[in-house]
Amino acid sequence: MIPNLSEIFSLTAPEIVIAVTLILVVLVDLIWDKNKVPAMFTAALGLIVAGVVILNGMPETGMIPNNYMVVSDKLGLYFKFIIVLTTLFILLFTYDSKEIIESHLRQGEYYALVYGMVLGMFFLTSAVDLILIYIALELLSLSSYVLAGFSDKETRNSEAAVKYLIYGAISSAFMLFGISLIYGLTGTTNLYGVNEVLSTTVVNIYTLGFAVILIIAGIGYKISAVPFHFWTPDVYEGSPITITAYLSVASKAAGFALLIRFVSITFIDHVKADGEWILNGAFDWQTILIVLALLTMTVGNLSALWQKNIKRLLAYSSVAHAGYILLGVAVLTNLGLVSVMIYFAVYMMMNLGAFYVVMLVANKTGSEHISQFDGIGYTMPYAGVALTIFLVSLTGLPPTAGFIGKLYLFLALLDSNMLMVAFIALLNTVISLYYYVRILKHMYLKNVAEMPEKIETRGYSTVVLSLLVVPVLFFGIYWTPLIDFAKYCVEFVIK
Amino acid sequence: MEGMPILSLITFLPVLGMVIILLLPSRNEAGIKYTALGITLLQVILAVMMLSGFNYNLPGVTDESTFQFVEKFRWIEIQEVSWLGTVKVDYFLGVDGISMPMVLLTAIVSLIAVISSWKIPKAIKGFFALFLLLDTGMMGVFVALDLFLFYIFWELMLLPMYFLIGIWGGPRKEYAAIKFFIYTLLGSVFILLVMIGLYFSATETLADGSKVFTFNIIELANQANYNSDGILSPFNPQNWRYIAYIALFVGFAIKIPMFPFHTWLPDAHVEAPTPISVILAGVLLKMGTYGILRIAFPVFPEVTRELMWYIALFGMINIIYGAFVALSQKDFKKLIAYSSVSHMGYVLLGMASLTSTGINGAILQMFNHGTITAMLFLIVGVIYDRAHTRGIDDFGGLATKLPVYTGFVTVAFFAAIGLPGLSGFVSEALVFVGAFSVESIRVVTVISTLGILLGAAYMLWTLQRIFFGKFNEKWEGLTDIDSREMAMFIPLTIIIIFLGVYPSAMIDIMNTSVSALAEFMNSAGNNLLGGM
Amino acid sequence: MLHVGLHHFLVVSSILFSLGLYAIVTRKNAILVLMGVELVLNAANINFVAFARYGDFGASGQLNALFVIVLAAAEAAIALAIVINLYKHFSHVNIDEADNLKE
């Protein structure tokens, strides 16, 4: 069956936009050798166009053409939209980032690589074929390895890149082996096909289990779940801070979209009227996901307590947040899915905001040790207040959007009667307070010898900060539009 | 007066003040201070206006139609989805006889605290901005009738308190601040869990007949609203109501502070600057007992009846333990802090009695403790400002040098002891009468009377050590109180004496609601125990 | 004559997988670890081709193997570039000893 060309275009319109822009960015960079601004503008423009295309594609319900490798449904579009927003913010951050500006001749490649990541993530969120998943994952990972080692000046960048590379290569190799085993068991790599085979025939449970564990290793590496998270602190600490921020939000989002699709499409029998997912019994996902989630949360929070480098602290904190989000997936209901999507939207804003302030401080003081934050509350008042709001939101206190994210998570947990799990998650929130407040303590409570001078920050930084702070507060108070949008998108198609 | 959203005004006026203060330049100290003063003064005026329009005969409590100054509108509404139902959260404010005294207390104590903060040494702008934010949180807790809104206001006061203690406090301020924050957050987390459990267990019938999950406290108290398989439903044989009640109670108890969750209080009080100690003792501690009265009692009446002896027991422990530890203190402020623990024990005892007298006494004690302990902390503040030490044994014979000050001190101390003629006596007496009348907790009550004796002991002994006896020459240079400090003491003294001779002024406000609450607590949920 | 069946291929790929795993776990030199990764990738390739051939799945398995080969090459290129970068900074390529980041 020869596929219909216009159908393909409508399915993959966002990806096509990104691919074209990628080529344009490389060309623009070649043409305007010395001046890097046109490349950045092209990059930003491409993202805006992609965003518009995504929003336009929303109202149609997802069609699954048989045997295609991608679907265009609202779940994928939602995650793509979040990725586009994140990338736009990263571009805004890059303009302010000392590390990237310093390597200014290679800046064009920076944008091209970021686009490579975006392309990989886009495919990852809408792929339904295991091979395409692998290709997209590799595209994403390879671009990120290079970006992690982007700045040439310090040794820690290359160390971060190598660690990331080694872990990533190992995980994706294992994942591929798992995929090959599934291919052998079911004869197809298309997730819908696998679903059919699993529901009709009985396959060897050990091989299937082994294969799925290998695939979980691959996905777990991307979302920084314990015990696949060991790369996270080193890579986050060593990479340039814009890349750290980007990895912590966007590639996690793509990884979670992948996880959701993998679990839901391959293993779901049907969805009940009240939103509960009924699995086809081949594999006990709920226990595994809950155990992973609880481990991830706890290890992330406990490890963060000891950290002195703030990027490392935020790295462990993002591991902990991955744990909370995993819980949202683990409930295996539509409400859980809504909570995951809301949490991501909120997490994007607060995590990016926190990293941005850290970047501003690192620009001024040249170090990321937590003691550099002493007195920042007085020398950079607006940044201090913004960081306070972001930290409060990360803890999950009202009236910030972070509270809403956690609230929906607990609503989903209690709706499925998982009381003990909710309780452990809440205890983790209290633990996380301790290290978030420690940053506040350094910013405001440490006695500085005399009232220090205010450090000038550019108006640009203030604007970007406001773009992040205002939604965090706004959605903490009036969050209906967020929920509506998420609910509207929870309609991925299951056969 | 009709139609003016007075509750929203009184709650959010401080936020307006905070915005104004943030926009003023830091150098304009006078402007900042007078803005804060003006805002709190306005709050007091609004509270008095509310009082004059308050109908003493409407019970409120579990009857939504008899709440006063109600403002209710749909805040969040997420439309019907087959698997989610309609999610709604209301912006629901209202007062009844139980919350009216608290609103008054918050307004008055906030004003006094602002006057007391006039001499704050550094970062004036930040201090008053955070203070006003705290004010909003406190006021909101007492007027919110939707559990979600209540929780938001409850959490709202955590961060300002952390900063207020941690930046302007004493030598161990960082430790005290983080201890306060984590302890209270742990309690809040319990409350959140129970809140969500309740959400899924009860439905409210809307005007168009549809049933939705709700956070509305009044609806949650109505047992008929629970569906049969809700996790906290009384109809569900496997229900978790006992555990949930204990969790909810502990969450509120941390704030009272109830033994053994009280360890944050001495540190927080000692390290906090005087105005913050005043707010902490005057208002924040009441939020715990208010939460129990407003939420834990009406929603779980049958569990309360089962556990009331334990509540009374903990009240007794608070009274006796707090008093004993106060007796051994060398630091004046820490002594007052432990006396606070002791006095809140009376509130618990009164609440546990589930009688109209007892609960009247408890709420009156909440109000009185607010004013009396606020005054006590102001007293400590005055002496610390001058002498820069709080050691009781460092002083002696101050009465000769500071006669006016000693006069006020005597009033406050005797009120704390419970001398008849001052307000403390009435509330403690009512608590004991109410608690004694209940057979099951009679023994506990009798033991608790020891607390009065101990209270007299440590207070009089402290009075003796600091103010009477031989004058300690070291303090030759101290000055008596000035007009600003008089402005702080006089209103409180007037209230203490007024309520001592005419307590009906306050009791009449709360009586109808308290009677309704007591009746509800003793009868509701009866038919549900013993199986369906 | 030895009749070569599916299981023979699977045994070979399992052996390769184990060897690759061993290399990854025990080697300190970054390039040797990457060799291990390549072994695992090729084990997967053998799986794909064998299943396609013996399971009557059509040509999809072999197609997948071609994709993987290309990806492995790209990965190797980037990986070696990063390893060269590492060598420039540290004068060795032992991943255990490149330890500046922690503390």
Interface test with B, best of A426, A454, A484, A485 (most B CBs within 10 A): A426
Q: How confident is the model at residue B92 (pLDDT cuts 50, 70, 90)?
A: confident
Interface test with C, best of A106, A141, A176 (most C CBs within 10 A): A176
pLDDT tens-digit profile of A168-189?
A: 999 999 999 999 998 988 888 8
When mean pLDDT is compared across A437-441, B92-96, B143-147, B520-524, the lowest value belongs to B520-524
What pLDDT, on the 0 to 100 scale, is given for residue C15?
94
Do the domain assignments include residue C1?
A: no
Please name the helix (run of DSSP H) or strand (run of DSSP E) that holds residue B364, with its range, or none. helix B356-387
What are the helix (H) ranges across A268-400? Answer: 285-304, 310-330, 334-365, 376-379, 381-395
Do the domain assignments include residue C82?
A: yes
Task: Report the amino acid identity of residue A357.
Answer: V
How far from the centroid of its chain's Cα atoms is residue A138's Cα? 16
Task: Report the amino acid identity of residue A375.
Answer: G
* Residue B90 or A218, more confident: A218
Test A335 with B200 for CB contact under 8 angstroms.
no
State residue B296 phi and psi, 5-degree precision.
Answer: -65, -45
Q: Is A269 helix (H, G, I), strand (E, B) or coil?
A: strand
**Measured distance CA(A427)–CA(B426) in Å, rounded:** 42
**Measured distance CA(A153)–CA(A413) in Å, rounded:** 47
CA distance B325 to chain A (A): 30
What is the DSSP-derived secondary structure letter of residue B202?
A: B
pLDDT above 90 covers a percentage of chain A that reads 30
How many Å is the maximal CA-CA distance in chain A? 77
pLDDT at position A143 over 90: yes
pLDDT tens-digit profile of B492-512?
A: 999 999 988 998 888 888 888
pLDDT at position A490 over 80: no
CB B418 within 8 A of CB B499: no
Please calculate the CA angle A108-A114-A120 and round it to the nearest 5 degrees.
140
pLDDT at position C86 over 80: yes
When mean pLDDT is compared across A33-42, A114-123, A255-264, B430-439, the lowest value belongs to A33-42
Test A174 with C85 for CB contact under 8 angstroms.
no
What pLDDT, on the 0 to 100 scale, is given for residue A34?
72
CA distance A193 to chain C (A): 13
pLDDT above 70 covers a percentage of chain A that reads 91
Mean pLDDT of A254-263: 90
CA distance A142 to chain C (A): 7
List the single residue in A with minimal CA-CA distance to B154. A398
Chain C residues in contact with A119 by the CB 8 A cut-off are: none
What pLDDT, on the 0 to 100 scale, is given for residue C59?
81
Would you say the ipTM is above 0.85?
yes
Please name the helix (run of DSSP H) or strand (run of DSSP E) that holds residue A281, with its range, or none. none
Q: How confident is the model at residue C81 (pLDDT cuts 50, 70, 90)?
A: very high
Test B158 with A417 for CB contact under 8 angstroms.
no
Instruction: Show which of residues 173-212 on chain A sit within 8 Å of chain C, judged by CB atoms.
Output: 173-174, 176-177, 179-181, 183-184, 187-189
Interface test with C, best of A109, A119, A137, A158 (most C CBs within 10 A): A158
**Measured distance CA(B118)–CA(B101) in Å, rounded:** 26
Residues sharing a CB contact under 8 Å with residue A245, sequence separation 6 or more, in sequence order:
A90, A93, A351, A352, A355, A356, A359
pLDDT tens-digit profile of B244-266?
A: 888 899 999 998 888 888 899 99
* Residue B208 or B180, more confident: B180
What are the helix (H) ranges across B227-299? Answer: 241-253, 264-271, 274-279, 285-291, 297-299
How far from the centroid of its chain's Cα atoms is residue B244's Cα? 22
**Measured distance CA(A274)–CA(A261) in Å, rounded:** 20
Residues sharing a CB contact under 8 Å with residue A336, sequence separation 6 or more, in sequence order:
A328, A329, A330, A412, A416
* Residue B34 or A203, more confident: B34
Q: Does chain B touch chain C (at least 3 C-beta pairs within 8 Å)?
A: no
CA distance B152 to chain A (A): 6
Tell me the domain boundaries of chain B.
6-531
Residues sharing a CB contact under 8 Å with residue A171, sequence separation 6 or more, in sequence order:
A217, A218, A220, A221, A222, A228
**Measured distance CA(B58)–CA(B72) in Å, rounded:** 18
> Per the omega criterion (within 30 degrees of 0), is the bond before A38 cis?
no
Range of the domain at C18: 6-102
What pLDDT, on the 0 to 100 scale, is given for residue A493?
46
**Measured distance CA(A254)–CA(A83) in Å, rounded:** 8
CB A339 within 8 A of CB A246: no
**Measured distance CA(A37)–CA(B509) in Å, rounded:** 70
**Measured distance CA(B247)–CA(B240) in Å, rounded:** 11
**Measured distance CA(B307)–CA(B352) in Å, rounded:** 9
When mean pLDDT is compared across A404-408, A484-488, B371-375, C48-52, the lowest value belongs to A484-488
* Residue A311 or A274, more confident: A311
pLDDT at position B530 over 50: no
How many structural domains is chain C composed of? 1
What are the helix (H) ranges across A58-129? Answer: 74-96, 98-102, 107-126
Residue A110 sits at the chain C interface (C-beta within 8 Å) = no
Chain B residues in contact with A388 by the CB 8 A cut-off are: 159
Interface test with B, best of A433, A442, A490 (most B CBs within 10 A): A433
Q: Which of these, B8, B134, B106, B94, lies nearest to B48 by C-alpha position?
A: B106
Beta bridge partners of B93: B71, B144
Do the domain assignments include residue C57?
A: yes
CA distance A328 to chain C (A): 32
* Residue matched to tokens 């053409």: A65
**Measured distance CA(B78)–CA(A335) in Å, rounded:** 13
State residue A199 phi and psi, 5-degree precision.
Answer: -85, -20
What pLDDT, on the 0 to 100 scale, is given for residue B206?
66
Please tell me the number of Cα atoms within 13 Å of B435 on its side-chain side. 32
Chain A residues in contact with B79 by the CB 8 A cut-off are: 484
pLDDT at position A139 over 70: yes
Residues sharing a CB contact under 8 Å with residue A144, sequence separation 6 or more, in sequence order:
A117, A164, A168, A243, A247, A251
When mean pLDDT is compared across A64-68, A189-193, B49-53, C77-81, the lowest value belongs to A64-68
**Measured distance CA(C5)–CA(C17) in Å, rounded:** 19
Q: How confident is the model at residue B84 (pLDDT cuts 50, 70, 90)?
A: low
> CATH no. for residue C77?
1.10.287.3510
**Measured distance CA(A397)–CA(A390) in Å, rounded:** 10
Mean pLDDT of chain A: 84
Q: Does chain A touch chain C (at least 3 C-beta pairs within 8 Å)?
A: yes
What is the DSSP-derived secondary structure letter of residue A152?
A: S
Chain A residues in contact with B75 by the CB 8 A cut-off are: 478
Mean pLDDT of B368-376: 91
Q: Is A256 helix (H, G, I), strand (E, B) or coil?
A: helix
Cα separation values, B476 from B111, B332, B397, Å:
32, 20, 11
Q: Which of these, B346, B173, B358, B179, lies nearest to B273 by C-alpha position?
A: B173
Do the domain assignments include residue C13?
A: yes
Mean pLDDT of B468-483: 75
Residues sharing a CB contact under 8 Å with residue A155, sequence separation 6 or more, in sequence order:
C89, C90, C100
Chain B residues in contact with A397 by the CB 8 A cut-off are: 155, 158-159, 185
Chain B residues in contact with A447 by the CB 8 A cut-off are: none
Mean pLDDT of chain B: 84
What pLDDT, on the 0 to 100 scale, is given for residue B290?
92
pLDDT at position B34 over 70: yes
pLDDT at position B82 over 60: no
- Sign (positive or negative) of CA dihedral A151, A154, A157, A159: positive
List the single residue in B with minimal CA-CA distance to A434. B182
Show the 3-state SS of C31-98.
Answer: HHHHHHHHHHHHHHHHHHHHHHHHCCCCCHHHHHHHHHHHHHHHHHHHHHHHHHHHHHHHCCCECCCC
**Measured distance CA(A491)–CA(A494) in Å, rounded:** 9
pLDDT at position A492 over 70: no
CB B200 within 8 A of CB B213: yes
* Residue B231 or B397, more confident: B397
